Amino acid sequence: MRIRTQFLYLAFATFLAAIMLGRPSAVLAEPLIQQWRTTSGAKVLLVEDHAIPMLDIQVNFDAGSRYDPPSRSGLAAMTARILRTGTRATQGCLGLTEAQIENHFADLGGVVSDTVDEDSAALRLRTLSIAPKRDAALATFAALLQCPSFPEKKLAREKQRIITVLKERSSRPQVQAEKTFSAAVFGAHPYGASPDPKGISTLTPAALSAFYRTHYDAQHAVLSIVGDCDRLQAERIAEQLMRALPPGAPRAVLPPVVPLASPREIKVPNSALQAHILLGAPAIARGDPDYFALLVANQVLGGGTLISRLGHEVREQRGLSYGVYSTFVPAAQPGRFQISLQTQKDQVPEALAVVRATLAKFIAQGPTQAELEAAKNYLVNSFPLQLDSNGKRLGIVATIGFYGLPLDYLNTWTARVNAVTREEAQAVFAKHVNLDKMVTVLVGAPE
């Protein structure tokens, strides 16, 4: 079942949620995050909230797609996915089939999901907090983490499914644009890779198991717990989930992200009516001292279609695109700065010229004082909205834990935004964004 998306049209694309990650709220500005380590060495972060009888638990393993070997893109994602398809009866775990695992969670009202990005693999459990259901759900969740059996038949099926989905998506202009863009921005660095059917087809249970043994260790794991659960219960849960994990092994040494040397424009043909345009380059890593100045500057440039310079020039003044955004995506290593828009094919030259001129002017002059104040107002005033549900809190807490951001990150957040000056915003933006070292990807533009 799903929302009736085909019947629902928004005034503008909602992109904010993605941009806002790492921008948490005053609600948590109080000393609400408790942190400790399990006896096995895993970092634990807890935010108690007893308003709703539910509990959210997320484990982030240092097992993201940056560790995929070049010929095996998709290994990290598939490993996380396959954890749910069977467990072995060992180490105190229950031996369960996929159907048993899923029916078990369904009977308890528990929901398990996984998200794998470049840096980490996150396994998540949402459960009712009433003790019998919670404990039963946790026992099964622990088994997935500690005793996966990597069943060959399930892997074969999932490989076929992923390949079908990749094929189904492969002709979409948006997918082509992202794939081309990542490869161009990050070159040979693993951040530039995208899963492809060929890499997927080479995956074996042995490869998954080896990846699991290397990367799913407690020492590098971060467990985030948000919801109806007190410290004592949380400590017990953390010990239970973080025991009997693999020993882990030294990670592959990753190359540095290399800045681009020159501008580059790449055209990919596509018969779609609209061209998809992406511009950008590698920018900053998590924890970069320039982060707050860039956050404010970017808010002015392209933080929201209806209130940004890019939105004003591209959509409001010229009606060229439904949405236009710019964003910084900091990661463990420098992540991307990116501007994205779509426009009817024959409008590409005009739209691109407008975007480039707007960006060039912004790099040269930075925000006006009024724009700077408006952006800071927005960021500071919207702070409480960033963490007003357990789901949002879980995401932010996990980010703080995984990237080792200071525990007072939330407490100091508004002060750091408020401290950004116009000169700083301009200087820092110009330092990290250079039109002469930027990739432009045009999918479906006229030949």
Partner 1 sequence: MRAYGLPSGIGIATLVCVASVSAADLKAEAAAEVRYTLPTTEFALANGLRVIVREDHRAPTVMQMLFYKAGSLDELSGTTGVAHVLEHMMFRGTQQVGPGEFSRRVAALGGSENAFTMQDCTAYFTRIEKSHLPDIMELEADRMHNLALTRETFDREIRVVMEERRLSVEDKPEALLAEALRATAYSASPARWPVIGWQDDLHHMTWLDARAWYERWYAPNNALLVVAGDVDPASVRAQAERWFGAIPARPLPLRKPQNEPPQHGLKRIVLKASVSVPRVTLAFKTVPLEENPTAKHDAYALSVLAAVLDGYPNARLEKHLVREQRLADGVDASYSMVARGPQLFTLSALPAQGKSVKELEAALRSELKKIAQNGVGAEELQRVKTQLYAARVYERDSVFSQVMEMGLTEMAGHSWRTIEHMDEALNAVTAQEVQAVAARYFTDDQLTVATLVPQPVRSVTHLKNLTQKN
Which residues from 351-390 bind partner 1, rule CB under 8 A?
Answer: 374, 377-385, 387-390
Smallest gap, in angstroms, from Cβ of residue 105 to partner 1?
A: 8
Going by C-alpha positions, the residue among 141, 155, 130, 34 that lies closest to residue 87 is 141
Token pair belonging to 251: 């990670």
User: 68 or 290, CB closer to partner 1?
Assistant: 68
* Residue numbers 243-262 binding partner 1 by CB under 8 A: 262
Token pair belonging to 132: 């019998």
Residue 130's φ and ψ, nearest 5 degrees, are -60, 135
Distances in Å between the Cα of 6 and the Cα atoms of 1, 9, 272, 275, 344 are 13, 8, 19, 22, 21
Return the CA Rg of the chain: 23
Q: Give yes or no for residue 131 binding partner 1 (CB under 8 A).
A: no
Residue found by looking up tokens 């957040």 in the block: 413
Smallest gap, in angstroms, from Cβ of residue 119 to partner 1?
A: 8
* Residue numbers 138-177 binding partner 1 by CB under 8 A: 157-158, 160-165, 167-168, 170-173, 176
Q: For residue 71, what is the DSSP state?
A: G
Q: Give yes or no for residue 343 binding partner 1 (CB under 8 A).
A: yes
DSSP-H helix ranges across 14-84 = 16-20, 75-82
Q: Tell me the window of 33-41, 110-118, 217-225, 235-243 that interacts with partner 1 (CB under 8 A).
A: 110-118
- Rounded distance between C-alpha atoms, residue 329 and residue 22, angstroms: 10
Smallest gap, in angstroms, from Cβ of residue 172 to partner 1?
A: 8
Smallest gap, in angstroms, from Cβ of residue 247 to partner 1?
A: 26
Smallest gap, in angstroms, from Cβ of residue 43 to partner 1?
A: 22
Number of residues that bind partner 1 (CB under 8 A): 116
For partner 1, which residue of 89, 206, 254, 306 counts as binding (CB under 8 A)? 306
For partner 1, which residue of 329, 363, 396, 438 counts as binding (CB under 8 A)? 329
For partner 1, which residue of 22, 23, 24, 27 counts as binding (CB under 8 A)? 27
Q: Give yes or no for residue 349 binding partner 1 (CB under 8 A).
A: no
- Rounded distance between C-alpha atoms, residue 214 and residue 406, angstroms: 27
Q: Give yes or no for residue 319 binding partner 1 (CB under 8 A).
A: yes
* Residue numbers 215-244 binding partner 1 by CB under 8 A: none
For partner 1, which residue of 30, 256, 271, 436 counts as binding (CB under 8 A)? 271
User: 41 or 151, CB closer to partner 1?
Assistant: 151
- Rounded distance between C-alpha atoms, residue 157 and residue 206, angstroms: 16
Please enumerate in sequence order all residues whose Cβ is within 8 A of that of 175, keeping only pairs 6 or more positions apart, or say none.
Answer: 169
Residue found by looking up tokens 């920018």 in the block: 283
Smallest gap, in angstroms, from Cβ of residue 102 to partner 1?
A: 4
Smallest gap, in angstroms, from Cβ of residue 51 to partner 1?
A: 5
Distances in Å between the Cα of 388 and the Cα atoms of 26, 58, 62, 73 are 10, 18, 28, 36
For partner 1, which residue of 87, 140, 182, 358 counts as binding (CB under 8 A)? 182
CA quadruple 349, 352, 354, 359: dihedral, nearest 10:
-160
User: 195 or 248, CB closer to partner 1?
Assistant: 195
Going by their DSSP bridges, the two strands 439-443 and 264-268 should be labelled as parallel
User: 38 or 65, CB closer to partner 1?
Assistant: 65
Q: Tell me the window of 87-95, 214-222, 280-288, 301-309 that interacts with partner 1 (CB under 8 A).
A: 301-309
For partner 1, which residue of 81, 189, 220, 422 counts as binding (CB under 8 A)? 81
Token pair belonging to 195: 């899963």
**Burial class of residue 353 (count of CB atoms within 10 Å of its CB; 0-12, 13-18, 19+):** exposed
Q: Give yes or no for residue 3 binding partner 1 (CB under 8 A).
A: yes
Q: Give yes or no for residue 71 binding partner 1 (CB under 8 A).
A: no
Token pair belonging to 211: 């990846």
38: Cα separation from own chain's centroid: 26
User: 38 or 86, CB closer to partner 1?
Assistant: 86
